[in-house]
Amino acid sequence: MMSGELYAASNNTELLERLRLTSELCHDYNQLRPSQVEERQALLRRILGATGQRFKVMQPFFCDYGFNITIGEDFFANTGLVILDEATVTFGDHVFLGPNCGFYTDRQQHGDSRWQRGGTRHSRRRARRRKSLPRDSSYRPAPRREIVMRYFMQLSYRGAQFHGWQVQPHDPSVQQAIEEALAVLLHTPTPITGAGRTDTGVNARKMIAHFDTAQPIADTARLVHSLNGMLCRDIAIQRVWQVDDNAHARFDATSRTYKYYVHEGKNPFAYPLSWQCPPGIDFDLMNEAAACLLRYRDFTSFSKLHTDVKTNNCTVTHARWERDEHGWVFTITADRFLRNMVRAVVGTLVEVGRHKITVEEFCHIIERRDRCAAGTSMPAHALFLHDVTY
């Protein structure tokens, strides 16, 4: 007996009970962790095997509404299917009877003849029989929960055209631009979460973000190519890869590194991505002050006021000015950064380099935990999120 014939067995109480159990199994399947899959597959073999034929449970797959998966010449959509070598079992509003039968759902109407393989008319007839079957009033299927897959994304962007990373009500942002492109390519709204939230005008050489999708991405390189074709020139996606479902772009990051670029003397080519510093700045003295950052944890003095963070503690592991071929670069690494923190630190260090405050006064500013005591916030165009490590 084919498993699809369970729907027609209205006069067989035993088969109806098996149908209820199998339906319950399929509903619960959407809530399973991978470790439970084998146990449930064995239960399905036992239930279906009692009908008089042996069935081999193959790899299950799931797809969301409107997303089609091709298997040979047959098309399935709009439900999670358990694929067998002899038959296909689905439940809810969906009926699929055997490998050569049609597909029926009252949620969609398809005119494509490939959807009518084996005869949609017969599937609808069996569907009417199924709806007339008595049903245990005490049975309530578990709520369906989609199995999602998580992907990490590495990207870089120039922040001059954006009001920061995070979505803004009325202004363009990097996050908004990527989410809109993903929604088009994946055919569903796809929120993303970044490793950090850069301010307006701040650049990123390496930003990591994650997003979830119920649709497996077979070719991530093609997705990268499509995203880059849709996004503006100020955003570039380097790669996309699948990660563990519990991986988190923000909370799993162990450190972030920012770089602030400055140049001496007027340079029209360096200006868009570097800050022109006044002559006579003492970078050696600034390095003495920067070394003090590693001794402190509370950086309230360098944080923007009235933020939504619970603590202003950060662990700075590296802070130093170094000379390169174009000028000077300040590199700072920490486990986390406060809003506006790097630009405020650089602004206060510049005060030290111009001999307006001493190294001791710089340390006293940190200890006061008062933003008004620190220096000005430096321009955003010279600041880069340089790296994120996990």
Q: Name the nearest CA neighbour of 166 among 137, 139, 144, 197.
A: 197
Q: Whole-angstrom Cα distance, residue 329 to residue 271?
A: 14
Q: Whole-angstrom Cα distance, residue 153 to residue 250?
A: 12
Q: Whole-angstrom Cα distance, residue 168 to residue 61?
A: 37
The answer to whether the CB of 87 falls within 8 A of the CB of 74 is: no
The DSSP symbol for 117 reads T
State the Rg of the chain over Cα: 30
**Catalytic residue (one of 199, 284, 324, 335):** 199
Q: Mark out the alpha helices in the chain (DSSP H runs).
A: 13-29, 34-49, 120-131, 174-186, 220-230, 283-292, 341-353, 359-368
Report helix, strand or coil for 265: coil
Q: Whole-angstrom Cα distance, residue 45 to residue 40?
A: 9
Q: Whole-angstrom Cα distance, residue 131 to residue 267?
A: 77
Contacts of 34 (CB under 8 A, 6+ apart): none
Q: Name the nearest CA neighbour of 379 among 273, 257, 236, 302.
A: 273
Report helix, strand or coil for 233: coil
Q: Whole-angstrom Cα distance, residue 308 to residue 329?
A: 30
Active site residue 199: yes
Active-site amino acid positions: 199
